[in-house]
Amino acid sequence: MKRVVLLAIVMLTIFATVAQGEIFEKVGTFGAQFLKIGPSARAAGMGNSFTAVANDASATYWNPGGLVDTPNTALILNHVEWPADIKLDYVSYVFRTPFLPGTIGLTARALTMDPQVERTIYLPNGTGRDFDCGDMSFGFTYSQFFTDRFSTGLTLNFIHMGLADKSVNTSSFDFGLIYRIGIRGMRLGMVVQNVGGEVDFDSRAAKMPMLFKVGLAVDAFQFGPHYMMSVIEFSHPSDNAERANLGIEYSFNSFMFLRSGYNAGYDTNGLTGGFGLAVNTSDRSKLFIDYAFEDLSYLGFAHRFSVSFSY
């Protein structure tokens, strides 16, 4: 078992080294940036520090290694209101099958915006025509326990991006692991995201926005119906400098949740917050409703809404 853990850590370290490449920041030189927008309201409310938590259906995005912690079947719908009237929708369906020992996830994601006015140098006010642009992806996730404390997962993504009359297709994968330390609920999580080929709209290829993250979650306290979890996470994007994310989640009687977090080292992202409710719909099923906001400085606030159902 120790060899398996060591091998997984070495693989992630290699990916992180490759992702660093150059030491200077390369903002705006990598493609498929919509892949970096976190979809889950719960995770966003905790400062996007979810790599070590990842115990619900949104683990297909945050860390596929945590997908094994979901119930037998789960469905989550996420909606993000991004600046400039950009919207991101993400759906994840998680289930188990008797034919495989692990957990399977199917995902779909779409970045959309209203039609844009076509403008040229000679007609800056518009040509009278509109054009569309948007991105989408479809993913398949498989996650499995290797021991009662160690699990890994892999997500394969097919990506389609369109701009006016041009479009490109590519693929990527995410690989993650979670190790449950066993002390005060500690969970160590690591993930590498968006590993894949290049995208090319105009004969100038752009690399995928690879991202390496490592996080630690711990039970801060638990007293009667009161429970609080704290999380810290560090990340290294291939097109920017290192960053840190901090978050906490307080729950009362596993019914009401309050969350807060902070994004450190980002150009605009800062304070986050949110809340959630969990309603028992039967003896074996639950409905979760979550909301989160994120302060993007001069870009305003981003809002996320999530609804999930598990049984």
Residue 253 is classified by DSSP as T
Give the best-scoring range by mean pLDDT among 117-126, 138-147, 190-199.
138-147
> What domain range is 72 assigned to?
2-310
Q: Is the pLDDT of residue 53 over 70?
A: yes
Identify the CATH number of the domain in which residue 232 sits.
Answer: 2.40.160.40
In this structure, are residues 299 and 284 in contact, taking their beta carbons and an 8 Å threshold?
no
Burial class (CB in 10 A: 0-12, 13-18, 19+), 98: exposed
DSSP symbols for 186-200: -EEEEEEEEEE-EE-
pLDDT digits (tens, 9 = 90+) for 157-200: 999 888 877 888 899 999 999 999 989 889 999 999 999 878 87
Looking at the structure of the chain, the number of domains it has is: 1
Quote the pLDDT of residue 199.
Answer: 80
What number is the average pLDDT over the span 122-142? 87
